[in-house]
């Protein structure tokens, strides 16, 4: 089946970026969220991010106008049932994702492909709660979606080959690169990235280095564009903790135990950039380390 229409569940950090790239690639997009405010904020951000692409010569004013014309929003999840492909980009909690798919199932066309942008949760388990496990896949975009070139494609145990091949073609049409991953906790990118971030938090927790010295060391010593604590703030400390818990529980290896300091920051509601405090305080003109 050729994919022409795409439904996106969630208008947050990932959802609006996914809508952005699909609309620019010529797909008709229908995006939903639980509040009109979230949808309005997402559309404003897409508009702003496309302006940035125009200023850098990546797209034209005409490209932007056509793309924005392809994006529609709705508060009714059921309306996504008429699309060819659904991408769930809600919060990284399995119960939330399961509830979304259960609510959506009665409204889907028989041929609609279901996908999740989950960064760590079992695709096989999510698929088993639907009526079409063979048409269910992990479709994991990197953040920020308009900039990052990689998309992880994760097949569940029941995913059939036509579904996989359809998603490979979609990724090609987006102008991105697909990496195939097996359905094990956190897949490829986060299986490697999150333990590094967690180890950086342990390094801070044990007093080996300060926030500034840890981030400087990785930026200047390993040529990373962002330090691991800066990156954790960008991703969201709650998301980092959720992925470490999935790794720890799913693989039963103590090397994946989340650092107690990471848990403490999340308990404090210091989740990084989105709450203006994490390993850095973003409330002033320049970020200041909080430890």
Say which CATH number the domain at 66 has.
Answer: 3.40.50.720
Instruction: Answer whether residue 246 shows pLDDT above 80.
Output: yes
Average pLDDT over residues 192-207: 98
**Residue 78 shares a structural domain with residue 176:** yes
Instruction: Answer whether residue 73 shows pLDDT above 80.
Output: yes
Phi, psi of 64 (to 5 degrees): -60, -50
**Residue 45 shares a structural domain with residue 71:** yes
Domain-terminating residue out of 182, 207, 225: 182
Share of the chain above pLDDT 70, in %: 100
> Which residue range is the domain that position 219 belongs to?
191-289
Rounded Cα gap, residues 280 and 184, in angstroms: 32
Rounded Cα gap, residues 290 and 237, in angstroms: 14
**Active site annotation includes 117:** no
Q: What is the DSSP letter of 206?
A: T
| pLDDT band at residue 92 using 50, 70 and 90 as cut-offs | confident
**Active site annotation includes 119:** yes
**Residue 200 shares a structural domain with residue 174:** no
Count of domains for the chain: 2
**Active site annotation includes 37:** no
| pLDDT band at residue 118 using 50, 70 and 90 as cut-offs | very high
**Residue 89 shares a structural domain with residue 231:** no
**Residue 102 shares a structural domain with residue 143:** yes
**Residue 120 shares a structural domain with residue 63:** yes
Domain-terminating residue out of 150, 182, 214: 182
State the pTM of this model: 0.90
Binding site: which residues? Answer: 10-15, 33, 92, 97, 119, 143, 274
Helix axes of 189-205 and 260-267: crossing angle, nearest 10 degrees:
90
Which position among 152, 166, 198, 230 bears the catalytic label? 152
**Residue 100 shares a structural domain with residue 237:** no
Of 237, 200, 207, the C-alpha closest to 221 is: 200
How high is the pLDDT of residue 120? 87
| CA dihedral for 276, 281, 282, 285, sign (positive or negative) | positive
How high is the pLDDT of residue 1? 75
**Residue 233 shares a structural domain with residue 258:** yes
The domain that contains 210 carries what CATH number?
1.10.1040.10
Could you report the per-residue pLDDT of 95-105, keeping only the tens digit for each?
999 999 999 99
Which position among 16, 49, 119, 122 bears the catalytic label? 119
Average pLDDT over residues 162-175: 98
Average pLDDT over residues 83-107: 95
**Residue 198 shares a structural domain with residue 175:** no
Could you report the per-residue pLDDT of 38-70, keeping only the tens digit for each?
999 999 999 999 999 999 999 999 999 999 999
Query: Is 98 in contact with 126 (CB distance < 8 Å)?
Result: yes
Binding site for NAD(+): which residues? Answer: 10-15, 33, 92, 97, 119, 143, 274
Rounded Cα gap, residues 131 and 135, in angstroms: 9
Which position among 116, 117, 190, 198 bears the catalytic label? 190
Instruction: Answer whether residue 81 shows pLDDT above 90.
Output: yes
**Residue 103 shares a structural domain with residue 150:** yes
Strands of the sheet containing 5-9, edge to edge, are 71-74, 28-32, 5-9, 85-88, 113-116, 136-141, 150-155, 177-181
Domain-terminating residue out of 182, 207, 231: 182
Instruction: Answer whether residue 256 shows pLDDT above 80.
Output: yes
**Residue 174 shares a structural domain with residue 93:** yes
Which position among 88, 122, 140, 166 bears the catalytic label? 140
Of 280, 21, 6, 10, the C-alpha closest to 150 is: 21
**Residue 204 shares a structural domain with residue 132:** no
């Amino acid at each position: 089946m050729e994919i022409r229409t795409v439904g996106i569940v969630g208008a947050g950090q990932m959802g609006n970026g996914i809508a952005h790239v699909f609309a620019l690639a010529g797909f008709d997009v229908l995006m939903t969220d639980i509040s009109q405010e979230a949808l309005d904020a997402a559309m404003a951000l897409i508009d702003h991010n496309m302006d940035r692409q125009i200023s850098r010569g990546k797209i034209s004013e005409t490209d932007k106008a056509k793309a924005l014309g392809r994006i529609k929003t709705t508060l009714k999840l059921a309306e996504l049932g008429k699309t060819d492909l659904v991408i769930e980009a809600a919060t990284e909690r399995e119960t939330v994702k399961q509830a979304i798919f259960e609510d959506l199932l009665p409204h889907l066309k028989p041929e609609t492909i279901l996908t999740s942008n989950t960064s760590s949760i079992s695709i096989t388990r999510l698929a088993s709660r639907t009526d079409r496990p063979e048409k269910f896949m992990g479709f994991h975009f990197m953040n920020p979606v308009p900039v990052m070139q990689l998309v992880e494609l994760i097949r569940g145990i029941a995913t059939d080959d036509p579904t996989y091949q359809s998603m490979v073609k979609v990724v090609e049409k987006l102008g991105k690169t697909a990496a195939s991953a097996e359905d094990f906790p956190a897949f490829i990118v986060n299986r490697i990235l999150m333990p590094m971030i967690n180890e950086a938090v342990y390094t801070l927790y044990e007093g080996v280095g300060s926030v500034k010295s840890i981030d400087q060391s990785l930026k200047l010593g390993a040529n990373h564009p962002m330090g691991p604590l800066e990156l954790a703030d960008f991703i969201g400390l709650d998301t980092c903790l959720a992925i470490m818990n999935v790794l720890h529980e799913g693989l039963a290896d103590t090397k994946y135990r989340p650092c107690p300091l990471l848990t403490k920051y999340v308990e404090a509601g210091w989740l990084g950039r989105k709450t203006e405090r994490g390993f850095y305080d973003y409330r002033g003109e320049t970020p200041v380390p909080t430890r």
